[in-house]
Amino acid sequence: MTSKYVSKGFWNKKRVVVTGGAGFLGTKVVERLIESGASEVFVPRSINYNLVNREDAIRLLKDAKPNIVIHLAAKVGGIWANKLHPAEYFYENLMMGVQLFHSCWQEKIEKFVSVGTVCSYPKFATTPFSEDALWDGYPEETNAPYGLAKKMLLVQSQTYRDQYGFNSINLLPANLYGPGDNFDDTSSHVIPALIKKCVKANNENLTDVEVWGTGSASREFLFVDDAAKGIVAGAEFYNCSEPVNLGSGEEVTIKSLASKIAKSTRYGGNFVWDSSKPDGQPRRKLDTSRALKKFGFQSETKLSDGLKETAEWYSDSILQDTNFSNRK
């Protein structure tokens, strides 16, 4: 039986702005839009459009004249980065989002797609996280400023739909990973951070790799290509302000994740757990039934396969950098 969620030329005459379109997730979303036939995809760069400033948001829309805006731009980082810069994570994410959203309404853009964060969920939300539980408590403290700033776009979406009839949707992906992820020591998330440490340990014959926390916390990870497919499908088929989770359905403890990454990188040493560092939210697992029901999205990439692909990409990039440096 043919699914009703099969694209039938929807994107052919659509001009789309993808904020953050040059980033990790954004490049995959742009690729997916082009594959789907979007007539024009505009990727604003921060050097030209600082979306924290409302004037730049309005200028962006007047320059690009989009039918649809997919808002991915965000200031993001791991637990330590969020702990060091909570005010920046709150202010910049809030201002980028609410001002761009308001400008889209003013300029009569057809649709606004907001991509939020699993960090918006309460710290002790019942698993699997149902979208209806978003307001059942305060988020985990280290990620709360970022999570709450992004969650304000959900409030904006619902109120602007109620008062103005403005069409917008709010998607909540699980933690993302994949080739092209951020491997910076100061701002990377757990998967790229551990892959980098294990590869370094292999290259330098180290027997120990330090990992923050106790390893007991759990997470759900979504491969970046799958996330892009879900976002583009939601943008095409979903037209409601009720939030929708995008996830894989696989919950894994950080200890188990470390073992999987060791296998993917062929690291045979030990993990040393620094329990003085925070674990973050105790558990994360999403209820993904709404995405399947509303626009037919279901992830395709198993965690073990995605980790292997990501580790191979990172190892190859290290080798290429080394070869390039040697040729200088």
What are the structural domains, with CATH classification, of the chain? 15-177+221-251+283-301 (3.40.50.720)
Res. 321: pLDDT tops 80: no
Average pLDDT over residues 116-140: 95
CB 262 within 8 A of CB 199: no
Res. 281: pLDDT tops 90: no
Res. 325: pLDDT tops 60: no
CB 74 within 8 A of CB 116: no
pLDDT score at 280: 84
DSSP 148: H
Provide DSSP, 27-43.
HHHHHHHHHTT-SEEE-
Query: Which residues form the catalytic set?
Result: 146
Average pLDDT over residues 161-177: 97
Report how far residue 108's alpha carbon sits from residue 308's, in angstroms, rounded to the nearest whole number. 44
pLDDT score at 221: 97
Q: Which residues pair with 210 in a beta bridge?
A: 272
Helix, strand and coil content of the chain, in percent to the nearest 5, comes to 45, 15, 40
In tens, the pLDDT along 227-242 reads: 999 999 999 999 999 9
In tens, the pLDDT along 283-311 reads: 999 999 999 999 999 999 999 999 999 99
Which residues contact residue 259 at a Cβ distance below 8 angstroms, ignoring those fewer than 6 apart? Answer: none
Res. 56: pLDDT tops 80: yes
Report how far residue 241's alpha carbon sits from residue 73's, in angstroms, rounded to the nearest whole number. 20
Average pLDDT over residues 110-127: 95
pTM score above 0.75: yes
Tokens of 304: 């073990």
